[in-house]
Amino acid sequence: MATINRVFADRREAGAELARTVAKRRLQPPMLVSGLPRGGVPVAREVAQAPQAPLDVMFDPLAQREHAEIERREPSYRAGLPPLDLKGRTAVLVDDGLATGSTMLAAVRAARKAGAASVVVAP
């Protein structure tokens, strides 16, 4: 698969483009879209809209160590709700980019451990 570098006006525009790409994949329902903090959440919101999939925020131990800010913002991301159940679902993990990939890898491992039927990485 070829890598295409494209600059988007904002994360919402990037999410809309990613949503079109994910829709073409015709993923197996039930599906749950999970954004990686912080930049992946607005992108994931766009991806979750079209298939009306539940949106969650992936909080893994690596991300918590690297981003102390996450714990402070978690209540606003989750709106006081507990994490959604991934068991038997297709988990679509969204971030606004990958530098080293370590946070995404930790999220993939966490989704598998939580019982996701399949995991799709959508950076």
CATH of the domain at 111: 3.40.50.2020
Residue 92 has pLDDT above 90, yes or no: yes
Is the N-terminal amide bond of 38 cis, ω within 30° of 0? yes
What is the per-residue pLDDT for 123? Answer: 76
* Start-to-end CA span in the chain (Å): 14
Range of the domain at 87: 11-20+28-122
In a domain, 93, yes or no: yes
What is the per-residue pLDDT for 33? Answer: 93
Q: Give the tokens for residue 64.
A: 């918590």
Check: CB of residue 57 under 8 Å from CB of residue 74.
Answer: yes
Please provide the average confidence, as pLDDT, over all residues in the chain.
Answer: 82
In a domain, 6, yes or no: no
In a domain, 4, yes or no: no
In a domain, 2, yes or no: no
In a domain, 67, yes or no: yes
Mean of pLDDT values over 106-113 = 88
The tens digit of pLDDT for each residue in 34-74 reads 888 778 889 999 999 988 899 988 775 555 555 555 556 66
In a domain, 1, yes or no: no
In a domain, 3, yes or no: no
Entry field: residues in the chain:
123
Q: Calculate the CA 93 to chain-centre distance.
A: 3
103 pLDDT tier (thresholds 50, 70, 90) = confident
What is the per-residue pLDDT for 79? Answer: 76
Nearest-angstrom CA–CA distance, 45 and 106: 21
What is the per-residue pLDDT for 110? Answer: 86
The structural domain count of the chain equals 1
